[in-house]
Structures are given as C-alpha cells and as structure tokens.
Amino acid sequence: DTAVSQTPKYLVTQMGNDKSIKCEQNLGHDTMYWYKQDSKKFLKIMFSYNNKELIINETVPNRFSPKSPDKAHLNLHINSLELGDSAVYFCASSLGTDTKNIQYFGAGTRLSVL
Amino acid sequence: EDQVTQSPEALRLQEGESSSLNCSYTVSGLRGLFWYRQDPGKGPEFLFTLYSAGEEKEKERLKATLTKKESFLHITAPKPEDSATYLCAASGGYNKLIFGAGTRLAVHP
C-alpha cells in the first residue's frame, strides 16, 4: 500500500479554472504538508496542518486554500488558476511537528495551466 | 532570510569515482539538516537527519556530515543506481523544511 497518495498524478487545465488536488496518508501521522516544486526544482513549503489545524501558512496567494477534513487527508484547492501555478505539487506527512519526525512524500501532482 | 544552497548543480561521475556534494545553510536556530534523494517523476525519499555539528551518518555508499555552516554528502565508489537528484533541507522549527535546489548526480558505467 502506498503510504502517501496524491490524486490526480497529472492535471492539465485552462487559465481561470478552479481545481483540487487530494492527498491521503495511511501512516497514522498527525501532520501533513503541501510543497510546490517549480521548474527550477526548488521545493518550497506552502502549508502544514497538525491534527487538522493550520500551523504553517507561507506567503501563498489566497487563491490556494488547503482543507483537512481529518488527520489522514489534506486537500489543496486552487481558484482562478494562472500560468505561474504550473508546477509539481507534493504532499507529505510526518508523525508530528518535531524535527525528529521524518517527512514522507507522495509521488507528486504535475499541474499544467494552459 | 533562511537559505540553503547546494553545489554543484550537476555532477557526472564514473562508476567507482568517489566525490562529495555540498550544502551550505543560513537558518536561524537550526533544528536539523536533512538529506533526501529524488528520482525522476517521484517524491523525495528520506536519507539522513543530522542534528549537531560533528555528527556523521552512513548508509551503504553514502555518508553525511555536518558543520556549523554546511553539510556534505560523501559518495564512495558510486554505482549507476546512485544516479538521482540529492536534496538538502534545513529545519528551523515546526518541521518546516527549507530545501536547496538539489544536485543532479549521474553515475556512468
């Protein structure tokens, strides 16, 4: 079984559309994250939730809204998509927020905005 | 501003040719320094965490070391299957990882 799974794996859409990416982890972890990897391969953290509460909220356009219905799920909704949103989005999870807790990553969702 | 810089950007080695990757960081209140491996089309895979200067960790052909300003990932006698992008990340708290741009390693037979 995949530990951290994201759907869809690929997403191609037009500018201005609204889309969602889903993430689920079956590791029993309390903390989940969203990262964006741009064309230069930099991985940057966007959000982190611990026990369904938002604890990290980086400088991200408010068109991006994370939602955590329960500890095992963290979804990312993006409104009014722009060309610059094209990237690979990774979900990750860890046991908790302590640095000793390893982050496990999903396989990524490649978003292409046309 | 917290920052992580990796060098070189890309490295090509012959099988068996040992080398080192560098990661320099400026993070206030460093809680941990992480190394991940990323294969094309996949998510990062955890390798090591280092917590204090002088610490070393080893796994097969890889050895990670940490000083107060940088970390090194030493690769001894690499094999083609070691080809990947190696990512360094520093954490200043709340397990918030600040990643470098990575080093793309290609090992040729």
Neighbours of B46 (CB within 10 A): 13
B21's tokens: 């990757």
**Chain A partners within 8 Å of B49 (Cβ):** 99-100, 102
DSSP state of A102: P
How far apart (Å, rounded) are the C-alpha atoms in residues B69 and B47?
20
Across the range A99-107, mean pLDDT stands at 92
- CA nearest to B78, candidates B54, B53, B55, B103: B103
CB contact under 8 A, A55 and B94: yes
**pLDDT tens digits for A42-101?**
899 999 999 888 988 888 899 999 999 999 999 999 999 999 999 999 999 999 888 888
Please, what is the Cα angle at B33 between B32 and B37, to 5 degrees?
Answer: 135
Q: Which residues of A touch B87 (CB under 8 A)?
A: 43
Min CA distance, A43 vs chain B (Å)? 6
Q: What share of chain A is helix, strand, coil (3-state, %, to 5)?
A: 5, 55, 40
